[in-house]
Amino acid sequence: MNKLIYLDYAATTPVLPEVIEQVVQCLAFDGHFGNPASQSHHYGWDADKRVRQARQQIADLIQADPSEIIWTSGATESNNLALKGIAAQYQQQKKHIITSQIEHKAILDTCAALAQQGFEVTYLQPQAETGLVTAEQVAAAIQPNTVLISLMFVNNEIGTLTDVAAIGALAKQHQILFHVDAAQAAGKTQIDVDACHIDLLSLSGHKVYGPKGIGALYVRSEVQPQLETQIHGGGHEFGLRSGTLATHQIVGMGAAFQIAQQKLTTEQTRLAVLRQQLWQGLQQLDDVILNGHPEQHVANYLSVSFVGEHANSLTEKIKQLAAVSSSSACNSKNAAPSHVLLALGRSPEAASYSIRFSFGAYTTPEDIQFLLAQLKVHLTQPKANFFVFN
């Protein structure tokens, strides 16, 4: 069986060899395997040193202090801790939360749970086709009892960038806490939590060539007293998230983030060329429309909807050639069209014939050329399954 071209980096990334090396050093008896919380011997001290180094590496990427980095099991837990932890402080007051219709399910499902507890949630509708959520929309939604704004930095399906700096300034002006899901932004765009007035920010290891099962939540130091712990048992992570630290995963995430910071500019430049190459080639095959903003986006994602007579045929052939997604990985088992694309104004039919390409470290120009060449050959076959789009 021939391997598919991997174009699903938004779902997960392979761990880099140099990161794997760092992880392995924290597993065996002759490495840093100790419990970082064991402070009575050098095994614990050595492990704690590696954890502190990784905390600094995460903080460096987002321009934060290492004491503001809280380890979690991933961005989903970070999102839950951020929203539920803040909401718990106001659960008797039925406060108001602002988010958008195109957030990750970890945000939408958490907001739905909070709504069941009496919170009012406003779901902003993004700009049609582009997916932009603007500061003007946020300003119009603010109420006297608004306590939290939660928006993603980079959309995980279409790659559109949110103007978090403008929204952060607005939140600060109104003394509203601002949470940002940056799982898809780390290593792809510059992040400065102070400049953007971000109070809480969620991060994931496996989206940045680190291990799965590890993430972090940035919590501004003055906000930490307002965050109610969700996992108790030992008082780890400044009392905000208990549980023995997974040293090997933490070290892997730290190493991956350090590499991502070093390569951010050059990698975005390289991937932008590949993205444009694929987009131009797809437009020559059939009628196709772009999902997302044509300019305000990172280079890693290209979401398209096929709307010509070959829509079904092309989407099926692409899936035979490349590992791609039709939506986010958390929704891939759901046959329903992407909630993100529907919120952009795409019809259910257009959303059904949509592909999310996501590029990464091992994507080459040859991959793009091969994919486009195979699609051109496919369209010349008389038995191609054509579909008339209405």
Hey, which residues are catalytic here?
Answer: 330
Q: Which amino acid is at 379?
A: L
- Strand-pairing partners, residue 217, are 70, 202
Q: How far are the Cα atoms of 68, 76, 252, 303, 389 from residue 357, in angstroms, in the given order?
A: 34, 22, 26, 6, 22
Question: How far, rounded to the nearest angstrom, does the alpha carbon of residue 215 sit from its chain's CA centroid?
Answer: 11
**Are the CB atoms for 83 and 150 separated by under 8 Å?**
yes
Task: Look up residue 108 and give its two tokens.
Answer: 């939408």
How far is 46 from 26, CA to CA, in rounded Å? 10
Map tokens 């603007």 to a residue.
Answer: 134
**Listed residue (79, 95, 74, 85) closest to 223, CA to CA:** 85
Task: Look up residue 226 and give its two tokens.
Answer: 């307002």
Q: Which residue blocks in the chain are alpha helix, DSSP H? A: 17-24, 42-62, 75-87, 105-116, 135-141, 164-173, 247-283, 311-321, 339-343, 348-352, 365-379
Q: Quick one: residue 255, left, alpha or beta (phi over 0 = left, psi -120 to 50 = alpha)? A: alpha
**Listed residue (390, 388, 319) closest to 354, CA to CA:** 319
**Listed residue (9, 355, 365) closest to 188, CA to CA:** 9
Q: Say if residue 196 is exposed, middle or buried (CB neighbours under 10 Å; 0-12, 13-18, 19+).
A: buried
What letters, b where the CB count within 10 A reaches 16 and e where it falls short, cover 73-86?
bbbbbbbbbbbbbb
Sheet strands side by side (includes 120-124): 69-72, 215-219, 200-204, 177-181, 146-152, 96-100, 120-124
Task: Look up residue 319 and give its two tokens.
Answer: 């899936």
- Strand-pairing partners, residue 152, are 181
How far is 213 from 169, CA to CA, in rounded Å? 32
